[in-house]
A and B are shown apart, each in its own frame.
Chain A
Amino acid sequence: MTELTHLTIAEARDGLKAKTFSATELAKAHIAAVEKARALNAYVLETPEKALAMAKASDEKIAKGEGRPMEGIPLGIKDLFCTEGVVSTAGSKIIGNFTPPYESTVTQNLWNDGAVMLGKLNMDEFAMGSSNETSAFGPVVSPWRREGSNVSAGAAGQIEGTHLVPGGSSGGSAAAVAAHLCLGATATDTGGSIRQPAAFTGTVGIKPTYGRVSRWGTVAFASSLDQAGPITRTVRDAAIMLRSMSGPDAKDTTCVDMPVPDYEAAVTRGVKGLKIGIPKEYRVDGMSPEIEKLWQQGIEWLRAAGAEIVDVSLPHTKYALPAYYIVAPAEASSNLARYDGVRYGLRENGKDIVDLYEKTRAAGFGREVKRRIMIGTYVLSAGYYDAYYVRAQKIRTLIKQDFEKVYAEGVHAILTPATPTAAFGIGEKGSGDPVEMYLNDIFTVTVNMAGLPGLAVPAGLDAQGLPLGLQLIGRAFDEETLFAVGQVIEDAAGRIKLPTPWWA
């Protein structure tokens, strides 16, 4: 039998139902794997007792024949989701001891469907980063190594050598799924934070349409862009998990009142009769030839499976990233104003209230977060608001119209690379110029700006043995087509062989 930690969500669900193993056995296998993988720093908090209690409850449900869609499935939860009675830090020192007295809608939906929580996953501070290096709790080590690299597990439970980043901001989620430390993980995506780490780690990640998933109880970064989704090891698993995470929520007015389709049923639809668009603007300077080749391979796979391939144009693509770096920091500067040292979290006393605010925020926020708050404050300040913020929001309208035109011409989904390169090493990017790091999100950020769904699916390995991903962009609220097309790519590429546990 396959090791319990190597099952897919679908296989685990079927095995639990058939009573081949129990939810408790499944939870214990994962708890052991998580303990042995502490050197990766994927989990910031392990909750084994909670996992075992939830698994026991699942076993009772299964015994009574009352198993729910995610019954007994052990998950990791990104630390951006508030979990009742369990410390939730958003990767920041400023709320490093915050214990929410409430549960986020996404996690509550998962628990209502029977899922089991293994712990909280590391992430870039307030989800601001593309490498997990901005976390106040240290970077996450990718389970992937370049061929012939010097990275190994040291004697003192430390990693030796220059390791690779898992991507970000959902770096802990992606690393945990790739290293078999959970069957699936929750993640969030504001500019690419689900899809880029999924691509870097050979996992599947979907950012659903804005409004598909409730944002209630998820720590806010940029409210008009943030959307939660799953990271899993297969397209089918992403479909199963997204269905449980989604649904209307009276607590979030931007969450739509639309029924959630059976995404898993869409996985086997195939691509016959679908029109797939290839946008020429995504052929950017500096794109690795391997990514270019992978993209061409993806086109051929879809054509061979019966899709019609058409060239399309999304003329405002190049302006999405600079517009994002106005809109997202502006919203962040407003959202993060709440961390004032008064109502929760860290407090540094000062001579008066303003001094208290300034000292608390200086001590509590990391460098990347401060930088983005300051950019946001500047672009919203008197005299600059029209030149920066309003202009960026107009460009956002143009970006969305580009997609609308393409979809109006009958295109069902768009195929692009997920990232311009494979994973890079820790400390390699962004130390001098923050924009170097931002360029990681060049293919993913357009999707957030237009509120559309985007799926990253592993499609091959580069010459160094590192995974590369393709991205599918869909019509609003048509995640089903993305799952159907994604499955065709997964079948054609073959499941990526994930790293063996060199860290344990």
Chain B
Amino acid sequence: MSVDEKTVRRIAHLARIAVTDAEVPHLQGELNAILAFVEQLNEVNVEGVEPMTSVTPMTMKKRQDGVTDGGYPEKIVQNAPATEDNFFLVPKVVE
């Protein structure tokens, strides 16, 4: 399978990465090179094979469902580019 320019733009939008018109043909070439490389996986008979979900067999660890951490909102927001009263600031999203 290969992707056209329109698909490249759609993927970029899904990935939330702005692309310029000049970047699109280049990205298209690179993505198609990778897609051509992974094409060989179609040779493998995977009938009846379970997809891997956990590489090391283990049971999920569980802990008591209780609060063990927190109470420091100023630390949570300390690296944010824009905050007010320990809230993250974003452009208006609801009209």
Contacts and interface: CB of A to CB of B under 8 A. Distances in A.
B18 interface: yes
Interface in B1-59: 1, 3, 7-8, 11-19, 27, 30-31, 33-35, 37-42, 44, 46, 49-53, 55-56, 58
Interface string A407-440: 0000000000000000000000000011100100
B11 A224 contact: no
A322 B17 contact: no
A384 B7 CA distance: 13
Contact of A352 (B3, B17, B56, B93): B93
Nearest to A365: B17
A394 interface: yes
Contacts of B61: 250, 253, 257
A466 interface: no
Contacts of B30: 371, 433-434
B3 to A, nearest CB: 7
A388 interface: yes
Contact of B49 (A356, A358, A397): A397
A301 interface: no
B12 to A, nearest CB: 6
B82 to A, nearest CB: 7
B15 A374 contact: yes
B55 A450 contact: yes
A323 B56 contact: no
30 contacts: A98-B79, A250-B61, A253-B60, A323-B41, A326-B41, A342-B80, A343-B80, A345-B81, A346-B81, A347-B82, A353-B91, A365-B17, A371-B27, A374-B8, A374-B17, A375-B35, A377-B11, A391-B42, A391-B46, A392-B41, A394-B49, A394-B50, A394-B51, A397-B51, A397-B52, A400-B55, A434-B33, A435-B33, A435-B34, A476-B56
Contact of B3 (A340, A343, A378): A378
B81 A395 contact: no
A388 B90 contact: no
A332 B45 CA distance: 27
Interface of A: 97-99, 101, 209-211, 224-225, 250, 253-254, 256-257, 316, 318-319, 322-323, 325-326, 333, 337, 340-347, 349-359, 361-362, 365, 370-371, 373-378, 381, 384, 387-388, 390-398, 400, 433-435, 438, 449-451, 476
A250 B63 contact: yes
Contact of B12 (A374, A376, A449): A374
Nearest to A380: B14
A97 B39 CA distance: 39
Contacts of B7: 378
A396 B52 contact: yes
A375 B34 contact: yes
B86 interface: no
**What are the 5 tightest A-B residue pairs by CB atom distance, in nearest-first order?**
A451-B55, A393-B51, A344-B79, A347-B81, A362-B18
A345 B14 CA distance: 21
B78 A358 contact: no
Given A210-B56, A253-B60, A398-B44, A322 B88 contact: no
Contacts of B81: 341-342, 344-347
B11 A374 contact: yes
Contacts of A346: 81
Contacts of B52: 393-394, 396-397, 400
A196 to B, nearest CB: 19
